[in-house]
Structure 1
Amino acid sequence: MIIFRLLLLPFALIYGFITSIRNFLYNIGILKSYTFNIPVISVGNLCMGGTGKTPHCEFLIQNLSNKYSLAYLSRGYKRQSKGVQIIKPDDDVKKAGDEALQIKRKFSHVVVAVCRNRVEGIHKILEDFPQTQIIILDDAYQYRSIKPSFNILLSDFYHLYTKDYLLPMGRLRESRRGYKRADAIIITKTNKVFPIMLKNIIIKELKPLPHQNVFFSYFKYSGFIPAFESKSYRKNQKINKILLFTGIAKPNPLIDHLKSNNLQVEHIAYADHHAYTKDDVVKIIQSYENIIGVHKIILTTEKDLMRIKDNEELVSILSSYPVYYIQIEVKFHFKEEQKFLSLIS
């Protein structure tokens, strides 16, 4: 592994040089960054996905939408539509992408839009919804064409950016120095029990700037929620075996959570944002049938379910089986939710 990384070092150096020049041109104003008359909150990371951006956006929406008229804007990764799209609850993944659709269906009162060009997307939101008071940008830390009012940097506790390397040698999209643009840093996916001594060790390693606040969050998992109308649910029945299928960047925290509850887990992993097919579903069912016992279910994530639920063929197959999904909610350690929210509201 070390030898392989060393072979990639020249490419990482070239990539780092290019991204550094790009950031420098934005920093000195040769490349333009746009600002807007309302607060724009950016949520992003230095690495390639898997830090929990969308759940943290949901946390912001949950806590701000009762006070402000909000809009959420993302790229709409892997959608098939083009240009700016204002998302409705009855749209599908092809138009919206899984994350934007999930948010619109959970928060129907919030304006949800997708656009690769975020500047164009914000202009469209303000044109169509002039009452908008705050815009939340999902995965926009490297989108330097917009200068956000508040920049939130996320880093996975188990894969801190301070220990990562530039692409393709590691998973960093830009140099570690990019952390300096953050107004707040959140270390995500920590354990539910998190000692203050460890907090202090990590803060020392991060070396935050004087204006930067560092927070620590973890995921609170829901119970198992029925995915479809089905006669096969395990009502009031003890479950001890799970066939889990996921198409997310880092499923290990979920697997660890399930195993910590004394559940036997067989996991089928797909790529992040995977578009499920009939062959995938057949494989999932066959794996489920091969699990010995009756106290078993099929489980997936809320985001994965978005990519299945609008496909009538897949739903018709899976609805004959006990299929459930699990939701996640962001919680902050050390009772710092209000401190964090006070910085942005």
Structure 2
Amino acid sequence: MFDNKYWQLIMSPFSLLYKWVMQFRNHLYNIEYKAIFQFETTVISVGNLSVGGTGKTPMVEYIIRFLLKNKLENKITTLSRGYGRNTKGFRMANEQDDANTLGDEPFQIYRKFRPAINVAVGEDRVLAIPSILYEQPENEVIILDDAFQHRSVKPNLSIVLSDYQHLFYKDYVLPSGRLRESRSGVSRADALVITKCPDNLSAEEMGNIRESASIYMRDKPIYFSGISYGNCYSPYMERPVKEKIAVVTGIAHPEPLLEFLKSKYKICKHFRFQDHHYLSSNEIQEIALFAQENQVDVLTTEKDWVKLINHSNFEASLKNHLFYVPMMVQFLDEEKSFQQLIEETLKEH
């Protein structure tokens, strides 16, 4: 196995080529050779520079909750590509949909917030937004999930996330690193949020991160957030979770979740799958058999939960063993400033 530095060295020519391609693409948008569309409704974009989990869905849910508190019920729509779904084109979520037709994250949001908001998926945001406005003429806010590189739509507020464990200014462009474009691309954003920070992050370290990130963000605001985990939950059982558990994850970075669970339970096994993975019948049977033979409960993320409950084997094998762990964004400082940024965007439009 190559050391990370050797891998970066070997892949550097390919990264340089990829970087040039992305810079040229962005240049075409900057000089307006490629069309950029702006819409009458307020558009808030949540995205990142890197591949992998930076916490976009929890941030989208945070914004939804804040907007609902501001009396925007039935006037909000989330729009994402719907990664991993078995459908194509524009689709407005309805009661017949599940994780297969919408994608795991859009269905998670739909299941949690319906009917207070609308959820839509569509590969082409430029075509999807007019479709939303046609079907929902009272709509006032559209939240774009994972759209920072989707330059054809100009958002009114662009929020970029960077994982504390993989800070963008220490990373490299694909395939040497995780960045989808060069570090300087972050300057297009209106705000940067450093996500998944430890609860005890010191003011000194925040200052150091701000100083390094400000080279690219200039005088734009930089915020820090962590993850808050709720009590494990199942709508099918009222009993508490057993002391011994197995963990199932299909997310990019499960380490923070595992650390939280280790503080409360004894983890006997971790079934780890790649991000957005849909478990097969054989995989579900393996997990269920382990739970039965070892008399443990199975804990998973909410994103994985919404895929499992629609599986044909769920009722027979996992229903009486499976719990999910709710997670929410928790700002470490300047939360009111972040909320004011959203409020000002709504007022200006």
Q: Give TM-score scaled by structure 1 length.
A: 0.93
Deviations 1:13-65 (A, max 9, x none): 11111001001111111111111112100000000021000110000001102
How far the C-alpha of 1:169 sits from its partner, in A, is 0.9
Deviation at 1:165, TM superposition (A): 0.8
Classify the secondary structure of the residue corresponding to 1:217.
strand
Distance (Å, rounded) in 2 between the aligned partners of 1:236 and 1:163: 42
Residue 83 of structure 2 is matched in structure 1 by 77
Q: Which amino acid aligns with 2:65?
A: Q
Would you say 1:261 and 2:264 are equivalent positions? Answer: yes
Q: Does the 8 Å CA contact 1:86/1:111 hold for their aligned counterparts?
A: yes
SS of residue in 2 equivalent to 1:180:
helix
Render the CA deviation track for 1:211-254: whole Å, top value 9, x for unaligned. 41111011110111025x35xx6x357x4322001111111110
Aligned to 1:306: 306
1:112 aligns with 2:89: no
Q: Secondary structure at the match of 2:132?
A: helix
1:165 corresponding residue in structure 2 = 172
Tell me what 1:130 maps to: 137
2:269 is aligned with what amino acid? E
Of 153-162 and 275-284, more deviation after overlay is shown by 275-284
8 Å contact 2:187–2:218 — kept in the other structure?
no
Does the aligned pair in 1 maintain the 2:78–2:118 contact within 8 Å?
Answer: yes
Distance 1:236 1:244 in 2: 16
- Quote the RMSD (CA, aligned, Å): 1.6
Superposed displacement of residue 7, structure 1? 1.4
* 1-structure distance, mates of 2:187, 2:180: 15
State the aligned residue count.
335
The answer to whether the 8 Å contact 2:245/2:265 transfers is: no
Give, in whole Å, the separation in 1 of the partners of 2:23 and 2:293: 51
SS at match of 2:139: coil
Give the alignment partner of residue 13 of structure 2, picking from 10, 15, 27.
Answer: 10
- Is the 2:252–2:274 Cα contact (8 Å) retained in structure 1? yes
Mapped partners of 1:144, 1:309: distance in 2 = 35
Shift of 1:176: 0.5
Rounded Cα–Cα distance in structure 2 between residues aligned with 1:211 and 1:11: 32
1:281 is the counterpart of 2:318: no
User: How has the CA–CA distance of structure 1 residues 16 and 225 changed in structure 2, closer, same or farther, with 3 Å as cutoff?
Assistant: same
* Residue pair 1:51, 1:189 contacting (<8 A) in 2 also: yes
Match of 1:88 among 85, 94, 99: 94
Name 1:337's counterpart in structure 2: 335
Letter in 2 for 1:300: T
Q: How far apart, CA to CA, are the structure 2 residues paired with 1:194 and 1:224?
A: 26
- For 1:64 and 1:337, the matched residues in 2 are separated by 14
Specify the code of the residue in structure 2 equivalent to 1:147.
K
The equivalent residue for 1:221 is 229
The CA distance in 2 between the partners of 1:118 and 1:236, in whole Å, is 43
Q: How far does residue 195 in structure 1 lie from its aligned partner after superposition?
A: 1.6
- Output the CA distance in 1 between the equivalents of 2:293 and 2:37: 55
Deviations 1:287-306 (A, max 9, x none): 33454xx5x32111110011
Contact 2:46/2:158 (CA < 8 Å) preserved in 1?
Answer: yes
What does the per-residue CA deviation read over 1:99-132, in whole Å, with 9 as the maximum and x for residues that have no partner?
Answer: 1111111111201100000111111001111111
Match of 1:61 in 2: 64
Identity between Structure 1 and Structure 2 (%): 39
Residue by residue over 1:148-178, the C-alpha shift from the partner in whole angstroms, topping out at 9 and shown as x without a partner, is 1110000000100111111111111000011
* Superposed structure 1 runs of 4+ greater than 4 Å apart: none
Q: Which amino acid aligns with 1:92?
A: D
Deviation at 1:265, TM superposition (A): 5.0
- Counterpart of 2:122, as a letter, is C
Tell me if the contact between 1:85 and 1:113 (Cα under 8 Å) persists in the aligned partners.
yes
The 1-side partners of 2:100 and 2:243 are apart by 35
Residues 289-329 of structure 1 show CA distances to partners (whole Å, capped at 9, x for unaligned) of 454xx5x321111100111111232332112x421111101
Distance 2:248 2:211 in 1: 37
Q: Does the aligned pair in 2 maintain the 1:89–1:105 contact within 8 Å? A: no
Specify the code of the residue in structure 2 equivalent to 1:330.
Answer: V
Change (3 A) 1:326 1:262: closer
TM-score by length of 2: 0.92
Query: How far 1:194 moved relative to its partner?
Result: 2.1
Structure 1 spans left out of the alignment, 5+ residues: none
Aligned residue identity for 2:335:
E
Q: Distance in 2 between matches of 1:262 and 1:65?
A: 35
Cα distance in structure 2, aligned partners of 1:51 and 1:4: 23
- Specify the SS of the correspondent of 2:119: strand
